[in-house]
Structure 1
Amino acid sequence: MTTRYTKDHEYIRLDGDTGTVGITDYAQQQLGDVVFVELPSVGKSVSKGDEAAVVESVKAASEIYAPVSGEVVEVNGDLEATPGTVNEDPSGRGWFMKLKVKDQGELDGLMTEEQYQDFVKSL
C-alpha cells in the first residue's frame, strides 16, 4: 500500500486502484475538536484539487480537497454521528472517502511520507 500527501494535509492511501482519503494528524491538531463532517455523495466525480468534503471544528470550517481525480465509491458514514473520530484516529477510522483513482500518474505530484514530514517541520 502506498500513501501520498498533499500540501493541504490530506492523505491518500492507495490499495489497487482505490484510494482512501483523509486528513493527517497534523491537520486534525490544527483544526481542534471536529464537530461536523460533510461528505460527498457516492458516485460523485471529483478532479484533483476540487473540494470533496467539509470538516468543521470548534475553531473553523475547512475544505477537504481531492488529492487526485476519481469517483467517490464509498464514504465513511460513521463520521456523521461521531465526527470526533477524525481527531482520535485520523489515519485509521477517521477516513473521509474512498476514490476510484482515474489517473495514477497524478500520485507522482504528491509527497511521500518522508517528504510530508519534512514539509510539516518547515511550517
Structure 2
Amino acid sequence: MDNKIWVFTTNGEWRQAEDPLVSHRHLDDWEAEVKAAGYSSWAKFPQQDATPLALEIYRSDKAGSELLFIVNVSTSSYYETVYAESVPALMELLGRWTPVVQGAALGALAGQLNDKGVITSVARNLNAK
C-alpha cells in the first residue's frame, strides 16, 4: 500500500507527504481512522444523497498541524482524499473544485426534473404565455 498522500500547499502547488492516517489503518473504518489521527468533521457539501459528487472536509484538532485539512472528493460509492496545509490552501482548492461539485448537483437536479416531466411542463407553460 502506498503511504504517500497529495497535499495542496499555501503557495498553490501540489506535493507528496506521508499519510498521517496510515498508522490507524488497522481500525478499518474511515471515521475511526480520521478521529484517531486527530481530525474532526468540518464541512460537507452538498449532502451526498443529493448529488453524484460531494466534498467532505475534516480539520486537524492538533495545534500547528502541517496537514490542517483533509478533503474527500466523494461519490456514492468511492472517495479520493487530498490534504490542504492551511486555510488559504483550502480556500483556493475549494475555489477550484466547488464549481465542479455544483455542476454535478445541477446536472443531477435537471435530470430528476426532466424524468418527472417538470421541465417539459414549465417550457409548455412559458410558450403558452
TM-score relative to the length of structure 2: 0.28
With CA pairs under 8 Å and 6+ residues apart, which has the higher RCO, 1 or 2?
A: 1
Higher-Rg structure is: 2
Q: Which has the higher helix share?
A: 2
TM-score relative to the length of structure 1: 0.29
Q: Which has the higher strand share?
A: 1
